[in-house]
């Protein structure tokens, strides 16, 4: 499968058998399957989503956002427990393109973007399936659309 390096953006081919053996980027040696959220820039996000053959969960957050900080430990915990999902953090203030593309209206917002080839020109909205945020994460002001396993971990 293909994994995009979160550091240098190189696309790495990793056999399925080796995905769980802590593969590193062939160009810059950054771990490709780090069990923690990784920060991506506005520019890096589309390539990462398009080139990564694993589910990607993106947390849009901001430094000034209290509920974002409250959710961060749960997000990190989920990242450590669900290695088959790549957990990405995008600082929304510095990501105007991604924020517009995914219609980020409040933060924290979690999205599970479809890979680009299936996406077409517009993202596929799936808000109907989103449960409300728990109170500690800002009540109903955000949207929660992770893969079901990740969702279960975050809510636990």
Look up 65 and say whether it is catalytic: yes
Site stretch for Zn ion (CB under 5 A), options 1-9, 41-49, 74-82, 127-135: 1-9
Catalytic residue among 5, 25, 28, 65: 65
Characterize 43-63 residue by residue with b for buried, 16 or more Cβ atoms within 10 angstroms of its Cβ, and e for exposed. Answer: ebbebbbbbbebbbbbbbbbe
Q: Is 81 in the site for Zn ion (CB under 5 A)?
A: no
List strand residue ranges (DSSP E) for the chain, in order: 2-4, 11-13, 38-39, 56-61, 86-91, 109-111
Site stretch for Zn ion (CB under 5 A), options 30-38, 74-82, 87-95, 130-138: 30-38
Q: What x-and-dash track marks residues 2-21 binding Zn ion by CB under 5 A?
A: ---x-xx-x-----------
Catalytic residue list: 65, 68
């Amino acid at each position: 499968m293909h994994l995009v390096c979160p550091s240098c953006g190189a696309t790495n081919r990793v056999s399925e058998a080796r995905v769980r053996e802590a593969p590193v980027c062939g160009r810059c040696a950054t771990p490709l399957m780090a069990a923690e959220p990784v920060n991506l820039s506005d520019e890096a996000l589309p390539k990462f989503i398009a080139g990564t053959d694993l589910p990607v969960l993106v947390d849009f957050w901001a430094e000034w956002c209290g509920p974002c900080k409250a959710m961060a430990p749960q997000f990190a915990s989920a990242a450590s427990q669900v290695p088959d999902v790549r957990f990405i953090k995008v600082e929304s203030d510095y990501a105007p393109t991604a924020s517009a593309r995914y219609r980020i209206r409040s933060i924290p917002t979690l999205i599970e973007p479809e890979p680009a080839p299936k996406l077409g020109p517009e993202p596929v909205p799936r808000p109907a399936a989103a449960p409300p945020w728990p109170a500690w994460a800002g009540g109903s002001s955000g949207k929660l659309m992770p893969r079901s396993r990740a969702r279960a971990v975050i809510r636990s």
